[in-house]
Structure 1
Amino acid sequence: MNDERRFVIASSLLLTILFTASVYAGYTAGQDYPIEKELKRFFEYLGGFFDNPIILALIIFANNAGKSLIAMLAGFFFGIFPIAFVMLNGYIVGVVISWREPDWGLAKVVLAIIPHGILEIPAIIIACAYGVWLGYRFYLALFRGEEFKKYLLRAVRVYVKLVLPILLIAAFVEAFITPVVVGAA
């Protein structure tokens, strides 16, 4: 196994741990901070988009694709941004879980996350792991004079060939399948 793969796997594991801890932190904080009004206002603002699952899927895809690309590319700054991005998203997931759990129950909330989450979360973590890797490669370029451009292009290729297709599938699962699963629960 080459160094890139080892580094990305180790970073993915660390980011998964940070994501999980952040979900827990968001869940506990969400119980103390009522966010129902803010979330309702947000969903009302986007109201019409939820009526058309194709448009919704494309919006979800564009949102996740754009943010994960930015998180990956901003990793050149020593990997700080992708780590913060994963932690913030975990925190938000935890807050939403704490918001929906009293009405839906934990099982239904988990069912609302799993169908698309098993694709979306790993894809974002992979993009962010490459962001951390780019931070390491940038450090080597900055302080040891190593090349950076080829590593940046490698990360972008992985993003296009692996992360984007997974995020596209996850977006359509979230728009078409997740509502059915939640409705049946």
Structure 2
Amino acid sequence: MIESCYKILSFIEYIRSIFNIKEIVKSLKRNLYILIFVFSIFLVSFLISTLLIYDVRYFSFLGNEIFNAFKKELSSKVSFSYNYSFLYKLKLYELILSNNLKVCILNYILGVFSLIILLINTFIISYVLIKFGLKKFIVLILPHGIFEIPALLLSISSGIILYIGLVKYILKKEDYKVYILDSLRILLLSITLFIIAGFVESFITFTLAKSFLG
């Protein structure tokens, strides 16, 4: 019994040593080139999507269809209440967090293919900017976006790093463990940011939107 407890405590301590803040920062530094690559894809796709939605009617129509589909799905899962009670916000937080975590894990599994998810999300962000204008965009996106967008980029980066580690494992490279552990650390950071983003979106963004948009 004592030996089992000792093993459990040793395992917990090992996990803590792997996922402490210093190690997470080191993982980010080691994989900075991947983070820059993913951010560059986000930035370029945002600029292109914004121009396409602004100038080409088809892309504006497509953005409208995606946005309306999202609103329909949201309203089917959460009964909209304009008094924004605590229970309503809590239900909304549960829905948003569940969706965010699903996207996060999917990005991790898909690896480089998750860039498709990035393009879709970037397109939606661009659509909101064009449809509502800069002031409303700041209210609707910025409060939770400062957490959610980095979380999205980190989850995609973690998946790419995981794939690099798996390739190195197949090629019998000794440093494959470093990449796999780095991917898990960055994934953990992404999940943390998604949790914060979901809370801010549910309890702050929606309140600001109600006050600002009426």
Tell me the TM-score normalized by structure 1. 0.76
- Answer yes or no: is the 8 Å Cα contact 2:53–2:60 preserved in 1: yes
| Cα distance change, pair 24–141 in 1 and its aligned pair in 2 (3 A) | farther
Q: Contact between 1:72 and 1:130, CA under 8 Å: does it hold in 2?
A: yes
The match for 1:84 is: 116
2:99 is aligned with 1:72? no
Q: 1:33-182 to 2 correspondence within 5 Å?
A: 33=62, 34-35=64-65, 38-48=69-79, 52-75=88-111, 79=112, 81-98=113-130, 100-101=131-132, 105-142=133-170, 144-146=171-173, 148=176, 151-160=179-188, 162-182=189-209
State how far apart, in whole Å, the 2-side matches of 1:156 and 1:171 are. 21
Which residue in the other structure is 2:5 paired with? none
CA distance in 2 between partners of 1:146 and 1:95 (Å): 44
Give the letter aligned to residue 104 of structure 2: S
Work out the CA distance in 2 between the residues paired with 1:110 and 1:168.
20
> After TM superposition, what 4+ stretches of structure 1 lie above 6 angstroms from structure 2?
none
Q: Deviations over 1:133-163 (max 9, x none)?
A: 2233333333x32254553343123322x11
Structure 1 residues 55 and 44, CA gap change in structure 2 (3 angstroms): closer
Aligned partners of 1:156 and 1:128: how far apart in 2? 12
86-95 vs 33-42, greater mean Cα deviation:
33-42
CA RMSD of aligned residues (A): 2.9
1:174 counterpart letter in structure 2: E
Q: Distance in 2 between matches of 1:156 and 1:107?
A: 37
2: CA distance, partners of 1:9 / 1:82 = 14
User: Rg larger in 1 or in 2?
Assistant: 2
**In structure 1, C-alpha distance between the alignment counterparts of 2:169 and 2:30, rounded to whole Å:** 15
Identity %: 22
Q: Structure 1: any 5+ residue segments left out of the alignment?
A: none
